[in-house]
Structure 1
Amino acid sequence: MGIKLENVGIAVRDLDETIAFFTDLGLEVVGRDTVSGEWADTAVGLDGNHAKIAVLQTPDGQGQIELFEYLHPDAIETEPVLPNEIGMHRIAFSVDDIDEAIATAARHGCRPLRGVADYQGVYRLSYLRGPSGILVMLAQELQKD
């Protein structure tokens, strides 16, 4: 059986705000839609499912995220996940310049949880809270083999 990762889906409070954050980091919107109807109810498992969605892609074309803002049923607010909680954890991106990426995130009110770490001179890494409390890891490779 063949398998490949299609995308990672993330429910958000404000679709446009979240798109602005991820496009400023360098992702590109490759599709937007509003979905509802019996097929959406069946696929997602929610009666009356109605959501605005957007699919964003990394510049290399290898990774996609699907963002969705629920119109119905009402979105349920939860506490943002902590790095050590079981369940959906974070989304991670390789970046060419972590300082520039953090500055871009800061323009959206998103700052590192603690700072930037150096992992054995190989990577500079940082976790930050994106829109809707999404944990985002940024990683800059320092050594190229």
Structure 2
Amino acid sequence: MSKNKLLRMDNMGIVVKSLDEAILFFTEIGLKLEGRATIEGEWAGRVTGLGSQNVEVAMMITPDGHSRLELSRFISPSVISDHRNAPVNALGYLRAMFTVEDIEELVFRLQNIGAELVGEIVQYENSYKLCYIRSKDGLLIGLAEEIGHKSS
């Protein structure tokens, strides 16, 4: 019997406080809103184990079309835990990382819509500039700018 093979990663899910704020934040980074809908009913709860639920969902897609973020705002049942302020060494999912053309320019734009730089932008050898940034609603993401292959 042959081993089942992975076909692709469809998306990563993030539960958010404000869907509109999260869409604005990820749009500013460069993702595009692919669709928005409300998912409700017992059938959805059978997948998540939450029973009957009502969730507002937005799907964001990267410019290359290969990666997606599923942003979810739970209307019911209500949110029971908040990991947004957990330190970077806490167990569980930490952040998504995005590669950008100009990290300083993007950080400036994100700060203009209420995001906060965590620490500072640092350079790793001759390869990357890196930073973590939190959205106004506390979502943590990483940004990377490739620098080793650029011509001076």
TM-score normalized with structure 1 length: 0.94
Alpha-carbon distance between aligned partners in 1 of 2:86 and 2:62, rounded to the nearest angstrom: 24
1:90-111 deviation line (CA, Å, top 9, x unaligned): 1100000001110121022112
Structure 1 residues 58 and 96 mapped into 2: Cα distance closer, same or farther (>3 Å)? same
| SS at 1:17 equivalent | helix
- Structure 1: which 4+ aligned runs deviate by more than 6 Å? none
Distance 2:120 2:77 in 1: 37
**In the alignment, which residue of structure 2 is the partner of 1:65?**
69
Residues 1-145 of structure 1: pairs in structure 2 closer than 5 A: 1-3=4-6, 4-79=8-83, 80-144=85-149
Moved more, 97-106 or 73-82: 73-82
Count of residues in Structure 1 that have an aligned counterpart in Structure 2: 145
Give the distance between the partners of 1:66 and 1:86, measured in 2 at CA: 21
Rounded to whole Å, the distance in 1 between the matches of 2:97 and 2:120 is: 16
| In structure 2, C-alpha distance between the alignment counterparts of 1:144 and 1:37, rounded to whole Å | 50
Given that residues 21 and 137 in structure 2 are in contact (C-alpha distance below 8 angstroms), is that contact kept between their aligned partners in structure 1?
A: no
Q: Secondary structure at the match of 2:115?
A: coil
- The Cα RMSD (Å) is 1.4
TM-score norm. by structure 2 comes to 0.90
Gapped runs of 5+ residues in structure 1? none
Identity of aligned residues (%): 34
Q: Is the 8 A contact 1:12 1:131 kept in 2?
A: no
